[in-house]
Chains A and B, each alone.
Chain A
Amino acid sequence: MARKRILTALITIALTASSLYILERLLMPKYVSAIVEGSLVEEYYSEDKNHDVIFIGDCEVYESFSPITLWEHYGITSYIRGSAQQLIWQSYYLLEETLKYEKPEVVVFNVLAMKYDQPQKETYNRMTLDGMRMSLSKLKAIRASMMEDEKFVEYIFPLLRYHSRWSVLTAEDFRYMFRKDKLFHNGYYMRVDVRPVQTVPKGRKLADYRFGERAYYYLDRMVELCKENDIELVLIKAPSLYPYWYDEWEVQMEEYAAKHGLLYINFLELIDEVGIDFSKDTYDAGLHLNVTGAEKMSIYFGKILRDTYRLKDRRDDPELSRLWQQKAEFYYAMKESQYRELEEYGYLKSLGARPPESTAAD
C-alpha cells in the first residue's frame, strides 16, 4: 500500500514537472525569426568544441568575424560566443563556462563592453543568459546581470518570466519548442544586405570618460582566467563607427593592454589596411559589418593570429576538414539564400536560415 502511494506520488510529481517543463519550452521566446540574436548563446552547445580561438563580446564580435573565412584562409578553428549588448561580466562568465568545455589557444575580447558598468536592459540580459546551460557560471552571471526589478528565480524558472506570452503564441512557438534550425556559423550572424554609411554621428560629451570599476574588475578577472589557463588574451575594438569610441577610452585601453602585456588592436584605426568600404561593407550604416566586411576583417585578423600566436593550419586534419566542409556548405548556402531573398524581396525576409515561404506562413 505504502509502495503504491509512493509510486503514485512519484508519478504525479514527474507528470507535473514534465508538463510544466513543456509549458516553459512553449512559452519561452524562440528567437528564430526577426530577433535571432537571442539564439546565439544556445547554439554553442550543439557544436563541436575544439577551437583555437574563442571570441567573446557583444554584437561587434558576432558581426565582425567569420570563422568560416578564418578556417578557409588559415585553417584556424574558431567560435564566437557573442550576444547582443553582452556586458563584460557576462563575457567573463561565458568564457569561464566555455573553458569547461574546451581550452582555446587565444581568446579575443571586444572592449566596447567596457563602457557599461551597470546592467542595462532586461531584454539583453535575457538574450544572453536564457541561452546558457545551467551551471555555476550561469548562476553567477545572472547575479551579476540582474536589473533592480528582475528576480533570480525567474531566470531559474523562465516560465515565471514568460508566462504572459500565452496570449501571443504563434505557430513558431509550437514548432520550435524542442529544436531549432541552425542559424549561425560558429557564432557568426550572417547579413549580406548593404546600407551604406551616410553620416557618422559625433559622440556626445560625457561627464566622465573613465571606465567603471566594475568593468575593470571583470577585465582583470578575465586576464587572470586566461593566465591561469595559459591562454593568450587579445583585446580588440571592432571597426563599428558607432556607438562612438572616444579617444579617452582608447587611451585607457592602450594603457591597460600595455600594463598587462596584452595585444590590443583598434580596428577603427585600421579601416584602410583591412580594406573596409563603408559604402559596401555594412548593413546598417556603420553600426555593424555585413558579410563582406566580416570576411575582410577575418582575413586581416587571421594573419595576425597566425603570425603572432603561431596557430597551426589544421586543414590537413581530415576529420576537421570534413566537419568544416559541412560548415562551409551551410555558410555558402545561406549566403546564396540571403542574396536570393534580397533580390526577390529587396530585404532579408528570413535571413536565409529557412525558405521564405515558411516564414510567411508564421
Chain B
Amino acid sequence: MLFASYGFILFIGLLFIVYYSIPKKYQWQLLLGASYLFYYFSGPENLLYISFTTLSTYAAAVKISDMHRVQSQYLASHGDGMSREEKKAYKASVKSGQRRWLLACLILNFGVLAITKYSNFAIANINWALGALGSGTRVSFLQLALPMGISFYTFKTMSYIIDVYRGKYPAERNPFKLALFTSFFPQLVQGPISRFDNLSRTLFEQHSFDSRNVSRGLQRILWGFFKKVVLADRMLVAVNTIIRNPDTYQGAFVFIGMLFYAYQLYADFTGGIDITIGTAEVLGIKVEENFKRPYFSKSTAEYWRRWHITMGTWFKDYLFYPLSVSGPMLKFSKYSRQKLGDGLGKRLPVYVSTIIVWFTTGLWHGASWNFIVWGLLNGAVIIISMECQPLYDWFHGRFNVKDSFWFRLFQVVRTILLMSAIRMFDCYRDVPLTFRMLGTMFTRFDAGELSLEALLGLGLGLPDYAVLLLGLMALVSVSLAQRSGSVRDKLAGKPFVVRYAAYYVLIVSILVFGAYGIGYDASQFIYNQF
C-alpha cells in the first residue's frame, strides 16, 4: 500500500476511529493487527520474512537477556566467594554464550537481507568476472522479490538485539510487542529506524484522544502529502526526462537535473517522513525526527548529521564505534601510529573505519555499484574535509569571514552542490555513465541551452514550474521559520481564521495541484526500495 493512495487514507481513517473507540489496553494489539494488514497489502508472502525476523530476534534476545539475569543472580549469591579472576572467567563464559546467540541472530537476519537484496547483484558480478576470464559459464539469477522495507525493519531489530546484548535494556518478553516494534506500519515504508527503548515508550502506552496531538499529526500528514504529491511527484517528470535520455541531455541539463533531483528527493523523503511521524502522532505515538533542515548544512559531515539522522546514528553506533574499538582495528591503529606517527597514524584507522561505514551505507541504499560508489564518494569527501582542516584553520585565522552571512551562504551552497552531484549516482543507470554525465557539466556546459522552450521540453509546463517555484519558497520559508521553533506551535498561537486559512490552502493545494490520478504515474517513495 502506497502512502500517497486513497487506500492509505481510508486505512488510517478507519484505524483512527477504531483505535480511539476500543478500550485503551487493546490499542497496541490493534496496531499490530493493522501493521500486519498493511504489510499483507504489500504482498502476503512478505509476512513470512517479517515474522521470521521477529521470532528469531525475539528468541535470541530473550536468551541473551536470561543469561544477563542468571549472571546477575549467580554473582549476587556466589560473588562474595569468588575471586576476581573467577568472576572475570565466569563473565567471559556468559559473554561468549551471549555472543553466540547474537552472532546467530545477526547472521540469520542479515543473511535474509543479503539473499533477498544482494544475491542477484553478487551473481551479476560473478557472471561479469566469469566473462572477463573467458568462461562461458553463467550463474542463473534468483527470482526473489524484495520484501517491502526489509532494510528498515532488519536494522531496527538488529539494533534491538545488539542493545540487549550490551545490556542497555532487558529483552521484551511479549513476542507480540516485539512484533509491533518490528512492523509498526508508518515506519515500514521508509523509516525512521527507531530504537526499541525510544519507540517502545510510547508504542505500548495507552493513549487517550488528545485533540492537540491529533491536530498536530494531521497538520504534519498534510504537509507531507503536499511535499510528496504536489512537489516531488511533479518534479519526477523532469528528472526522469533528463536521466533517461543521457544522449540528449548533457552539460547544463545535467546540472539542472542534479538540482531538480535534489529538490525531488528532499520533498519525497522528508514528505514521507512527515506522513510517518504525523500518522504516529495522530495515534499518540512519538517517532523521532529523521531530518533537521539538511540543506542548511555547511559541511558534508554536518549534512549527514541532519539528513536521514536515524540511519546515520545507526551506522555510527552499531558499525563505526564497534569497528573502531575492535581488536583488529586497535592492532592496526597501533601499527599505523608506529609507522606514520601520531598525526596521520592516528587518523588513518578512523579513515579506514569511515570508508568501511560508507561502503556499507552505500550498499544498504541499493544493490548496485552506483550506490557503493555513492557511499565511497561521501566517505572520501568527509576524509578530504578532515585532512583539509588545517588549511581551513589557516584560512579562518587569516580571513575573518567565518561568521559572515555570505561565507555561510557559500558553505551551504557548496554543500548542496557537492551532495547533489554525488547523488547523481542514484540516477543514472551505471557508474561510468554517471561519471561521463557529471563530466559533461564541465566540458559541455552551455547555459544558453536552457531556453524556456528546452525547459518546457522536459515534460513540465509553465504552470508546473510556477507550482514548483512557489513550493520551493514554501519549503525554504518553513525551514527558516523552524530555526526559531516549531512552525505548528507558532501556527497554534494564531487566531482561528489564520489557522483555518493555512489548513485550507494546504488541503486545496494538495487536491488541486497534486500530481496524482490518471495522467500521472503513481510513484512510490524513493526510499521504499531501500
Contacts and interface: CB of A to CB of B under 8 A. Distances in A.
Contacts of A153: 6
A159 interface: yes
A154 B517 contact: yes
Given A12-B500, A23-B508, A163 B6 contact: no
B496 A164 contact: no
Q: Specify the main secondary structure of chain B where it touches its partner.
A: helix
Nearest to A157: B511
Contacts, number: 43
A120 to B, nearest CB: 15
A163 B517 contact: yes
B170 interface: no
Which residue of B496, B512, B515 has the most chain A CB atoms within 10 A of its CB atom?
Answer: B512
Contacts of A101: none
A163 B463 CA distance: 13
Contacts of A23: 508, 511-512
Nearest to A167: B463
Contacts of B512: 23, 27, 159, 163, 166
A230 interface: no
A164 B519 contact: yes
A127 B518 CA distance: 16
Contacts of B515: 164
Nearest to B5: A151
A47 interface: no
A110 B310 CA distance: 64
Contacts of A164: 515, 517, 519-520
Given A12-B500, A151-B6, A153-B6, A166 B518 contact: no
A248 interface: no
B514 interface: yes
A20 interface: yes
Contacts of B500: 12
A174 to B, nearest CB: 15
A156 to B, nearest CB: 11
B504 A160 contact: no
Nearest to A151: B6
Given A8-B496, A149-B518, A166 B513 contact: yes
Contacts of A163: 511-514, 516-517
B237 to A, nearest CB: 12
Given A12-B500, A166-B513, A167-B461, A161 B518 contact: yes
A163 B233 CA distance: 15
B463 to A, nearest CB: 4
Contacts of B511: 20, 23, 159-160, 163
A250 interface: no
Interface size range of chain B in the complex: 10 to 19
A12 B496 CA distance: 10
Contacts of A20: 508, 511
A154 to B, nearest CB: 6
Interface size range of chain A in the complex: 20 to 34
Q: Specify the main secondary structure of chain A where it touches its partner.
A: helix
B513 A16 contact: no
Contacts of A166: 463, 512-513
B27 to A, nearest CB: 26
A167 B517 CA distance: 15
Nearest to B500: A12
Contacts of B513: 163, 166
Contacts of A19: 504, 508
A150 interface: yes
Interface in A133-161: 149-151, 153-154, 159-161
A122 interface: yes
Contacts of A161: 517-518
Contacts of B6: 151, 153
B401 to A, nearest CB: 45
Interface string A7-22: 0100010001001100
A16 B508 CA distance: 10
Interface string A161-181: 101101100000000000000
Contacts of A159: 511-512
A16 B505 CA distance: 11
Contacts of A16: 504, 507
Interface string A23-35: 1000100000000
Contacts of B508: 19-20, 23
Contact of A122 (B463, B514, B518, B520): B518
Contacts of A151: 6, 517
A206 B409 CA distance: 69
A193 to B, nearest CB: 33
B491 to A, nearest CB: 16
Interface in B495-530: 496, 500, 504, 507-508, 511-520
A151 B6 CA distance: 9
Contacts of A154: 517-518
Contacts of B464: 167
Contacts of B518: 122, 149-150, 154, 161
Interface of B: 6, 461, 463-464, 496, 500, 504, 507-508, 511-520
Interface of A: 8, 12, 16, 19-20, 23, 27, 122, 149-151, 153-154, 159-161, 163-164, 166-167
Given A19-B504, A23-B511, 14 more contacts: A23-B512, A150-B518, A151-B517, A153-B6, A154-B517, A154-B518, A161-B517, A163-B513, A163-B514, A163-B517, A164-B515, A164-B517, A164-B520, A167-B461
14 contacts: A8-B496, A16-B507, A23-B508, A122-B518, A149-B518, A153-B6, A160-B516, A160-B517, A161-B518, A163-B517, A164-B517, A164-B520, A166-B513, A167-B461
